[in-house]
A and B are shown apart, each in its own frame.
Chain A
């Protein structure tokens, strides 16, 4: 690749494709070909991580980073950059505070403040080309393991690295492998858990789409260590692109002798099958996942026996998350001492987050364990969207906790998050601003976990439903005193009385929001007021008589005809008819800003439309 004058890489991750990057890629190929330029490679990559600024085009040399590229920009990229060597200023990322253009991705704070180990290849290689992976040192770790190390040595190395499961529970990976290794019998299984079901999380998907080989290499190394000859990848059917890239990767591995009988002449045999998950959040739990692979309902069972003793078809089975496996090859290549030098005392290495919600730089980020929430959200994430005020951050998906501004200086690691009442989880991180109602958010999370409860344990099945009912009542302005205490009691019962992680963690959002935002609950219950102006039953829209210019735009757009008025008359909303959809607020011209949303207060307006004041 290095003998080429320019290498142009277009991001074809899910985010950028949604933004139209496929058209950009096709146009680039077409234009370069028709221009007759030589020594230029047009290639594509998986997710770069900076999804907020997509579609992304990256040009080497210089890691020139063009953001929000449209098909119409392709002509300029080809003519100016590739032909004349001139950069295109308008496509550069700009520092939001200074407005200064930053040409190279290495200098953009979003990237320069990250430490990319698991995502090391994401955005840099073509995920559908095994040669790209080999060129960056791929499968060297596998060679080293199979030809020079005993399974015990590999396990010792992984244990020494301090790597803990990145799926959420944070169990020490080397120890997990060791348990499975110790089991006798020659039929064992290794499973890659790619059933990423958290809404708002896309870490595993992005890795599988951008760098499938590092996950698969880690999987073979794991299989060799525990003594398994058959592996399964359990991946959501909702991830068609990830599945396609996995299938391509498996085919190429087969051709290169990394799969099948006698891998690299070591005498070790290994095969991988893909199983498509059919959409059940609970299947992320190990025993439920195993039941699902066996073709049954994905319901968890009590442990022990642990899967390491009796898993898939009753045989010893080891299950690891995508990110855990993707960490393995680099731990083997660079050594466990290097890895354990990153992070905190008990939480080693790095962690990948899908940073989303009301944050300026939403996307996929990787940081060392122990980073402060503040540095993550404000440093890398660029702060809150639209200059609003930070309210809370939710870690660990729908079963994690909501942490307030006062926790922003606490470090991100397994222990600190647990102490704060949240969990690390798989890596979802959702930022909320002052316009987000935490009571409504909690109701939302509960509606998810309630629907996904498999129904086996009564406290989870009934308890989540009861909590949801109470939360629904509160958000509708029908809360009553004692509701908060009742929620707390239910939450504790559900946590205590459930077999699996889903039930044990589902009450986390309830407990943390009551702990940190009790006043918002009280406002809803006692004052029938939603401070974030989000709960529909508690808000009203008004047209301010002194600001309305009688332009009729809201009148024309109201879907239920709740607005009366005509040209040059002050418009009035009929609150009986209003469905509180917010269309009037959305369409009212900025220069008038006559529509307001309020909660717990009334605004005086004329009884019927009167002429606007001159």
Chain B
């Protein structure tokens, strides 16, 4: 694993305070921070694994399990919440059969809550990968998810 990440480490050799940036790059490459990846980062910074995990687990951006193929994100920022975001989330949970934060068994979908995409005027908003679905309602959620479930 260390070898696999050496390319990233090389760029940050000797740079002060680069732990978070390196973790971000590692996650970008691997999709999540595996146990082995955390060991590798710890070794590079000459810190303990628990210290690195402690930093990583503090920030919402870092994930420690692999994600599904499609990332479904439901915005629960204030503007979306006021316009019914929680219902959108519950419908997504029901239709995917997973709770927020979870991944389906076939690794096809992950469901996440996010706080604000910055298009609050179009609330409530749901994202599938990079596609933004705006002004959602319950039947639109079902439709969108069905579309992705149907694909091979």
Asked if B18 lies at the interface with its beta carbon under 8 angstroms from chain A, I say: yes
A278-B20, A293-B17, A356-B123 known; A239 and B118 CB under 8 Å? yes
Which residues of A have CB within 8 Å of B129? Answer: none
A358-B82, A362-B121 known; A582 and B138 CB under 8 Å? yes
Asked if B39 lies at the interface with its beta carbon under 8 angstroms from chain A, I say: no
A294-B16, A581-B90 known; A205 and B78 CB under 8 Å? no
| Chain B contacts with A in 23-78, Cβ cutoff 8 A | 23-24, 54-55, 58-62, 76-78
Contact A357 B90 (CB under 8 A): no
| Complex CA–CA separation, A21 to B100 (angstroms) | 30
Contact A581 B120 (CB under 8 A): no
Asked if A298 lies at the interface with its beta carbon under 8 angstroms from chain B, I say: yes
* Chain B residue nearest to A361 in the complex (CB): B121
CB pairs A–B below 8 angstroms (9 shown): A200-B78, A200-B80, A200-B116, A202-B119, A237-B61, A278-B20, A278-B60, A354-B120, A559-B94
Contact A201 B54 (CB under 8 A): no
| Complex CA–CA separation, A279 to B91 (angstroms) | 26
The distance from the CB of B98 to the nearest CB of chain A, in whole angstroms, is 16
Asked if A430 lies at the interface with its beta carbon under 8 angstroms from chain B, I say: yes
Contact A356 B78 (CB under 8 A): yes
Contact A18 B82 (CB under 8 A): no
Which residues of A have CB within 8 Å of B24? Answer: 237, 276, 278
The distance from the CB of B44 to the nearest CB of chain A, in whole angstroms, is 12
Which residues of B have CB within 8 Å of A582? Answer: 87, 138
Asked if B11 lies at the interface with its beta carbon under 8 angstroms from chain A, I say: no
| Complex CA–CA separation, A54 to B62 (angstroms) | 33
Which residues of B have CB within 8 Å of A587? Answer: 139
> Which residues of A come within 8 Å of B, CB atoms?
14-15, 17-19, 51-52, 54, 197-202, 205-206, 237-239, 275-276, 278-280, 292-299, 313, 354, 356-358, 362-363, 394, 397-398, 428, 430, 432, 436, 441, 444-445, 448, 454, 557, 559, 581-583, 586-587
Which residues of A have CB within 8 Å of B122? Answer: 15, 18-19, 51-52, 54
Which residues of A have CB within 8 Å of B16? Answer: 294-295, 313
Contact A54 B121 (CB under 8 A): yes
Contact B82 A436 (CB under 8 A): yes
| Complex CA–CA separation, A454 to B58 (angstroms) | 8
Which residues of B have CB within 8 Å of A292? Answer: 20
| Complex CA–CA separation, A255 to B134 (angstroms) | 39
| Complex CA–CA separation, A299 to B134 (angstroms) | 35
Contact B60 A357 (CB under 8 A): no
Which residues of A have CB within 8 Å of B78? Answer: 198-200, 356-357, 394, 397-398, 428, 430, 444-445
Contact A205 B58 (CB under 8 A): no
CB within 8 A of B21: which of A198, A200, A276, A298? A276
* Chain A residue nearest to B138 in the complex (CB): A583
CB within 8 A of B82: which of A15, A51, A206, A357? A357
Contact A356 B118 (CB under 8 A): no
| Complex CA–CA separation, A354 to B118 (angstroms) | 9
| Complex CA–CA separation, A299 to B58 (angstroms) | 9
CB within 8 A of A14: which of B79, B82, B119? B119
The distance from the CB of B32 to the nearest CB of chain A, in whole angstroms, is 14
CB within 8 A of B91: which of A51, A362, A436, A581? A581
A18-B117, A238-B114 known; A200 and B20 CB under 8 Å? no
A278-B60, A294-B16 known; A362 and B137 CB under 8 Å? no
Asked if B144 lies at the interface with its beta carbon under 8 angstroms from chain A, I say: no
CB within 8 A of B79: which of A296, A298, A430? A430
Asked if B125 lies at the interface with its beta carbon under 8 angstroms from chain A, I say: yes
| Complex CA–CA separation, A432 to B58 (angstroms) | 32
Report how many residues on chain B are interfacial, defined by Cβ distance under 8 Å.
43
| Complex CA–CA separation, A199 to B119 (angstroms) | 11
The distance from the CB of A285 to the nearest CB of chain B, in whole angstroms, is 14
CB within 8 A of B121: which of A199, A294, A356? A356
- What 0/1 pattern do residues 3 to 24 of B give for CB contact below 8 A with A? 0000000000000111111011
Asked if B132 lies at the interface with its beta carbon under 8 angstroms from chain A, I say: yes
Contact A586 B138 (CB under 8 A): yes
Asked if B115 lies at the interface with its beta carbon under 8 angstroms from chain A, I say: yes
Among A19, A280, A357, A557, max chain B CB count under 10 A is at A357
Which residues of B have CB within 8 Å of A394? Answer: 78
* Chain B residue nearest to A283 in the complex (CB): B59
| Complex CA–CA separation, A114 to B134 (angstroms) | 27
Which residues of B have CB within 8 Å of A362? Answer: 79, 120-121
CB within 8 A of A199: which of B91, B116, B134? B116
| Complex CA–CA separation, A325 to B71 (angstroms) | 35
**6 new A-B contacts at CB < 8 Å, known A14-B118, A296-B19, A298-B58:** A18-B132, A200-B78, A278-B60, A295-B21, A313-B17, A357-B82
Which residues of B have CB within 8 Å of A206? Answer: 118
- What 0/1 pattern do residues 106 to 146 of B give for CB contact below 8 A with A? 00000000111111111101000000101001110000000
The distance from the CB of A114 to the nearest CB of chain B, in whole angstroms, is 16
Contact B120 A278 (CB under 8 A): no
| Complex CA–CA separation, A294 to B45 (angstroms) | 13
The distance from the CB of B123 to the nearest CB of chain A, in whole angstroms, is 7
Among B16, B17, B61, B83, max chain A CB count under 10 A is at B17
The distance from the CB of A389 to the nearest CB of chain B, in whole angstroms, is 15
The distance from the CB of B84 to the nearest CB of chain A, in whole angstroms, is 9
Among A239, A297, A394, A582, max chain B CB count under 10 A is at A297
Asked if B2 lies at the interface with its beta carbon under 8 angstroms from chain A, I say: no
| Complex CA–CA separation, A398 to B79 (angstroms) | 11
| Complex CA–CA separation, A165 to B46 (angstroms) | 39
Contact A201 B82 (CB under 8 A): no
Contact B132 A581 (CB under 8 A): no
Contact A280 B82 (CB under 8 A): no
The distance from the CB of A89 to the nearest CB of chain B, in whole angstroms, is 24
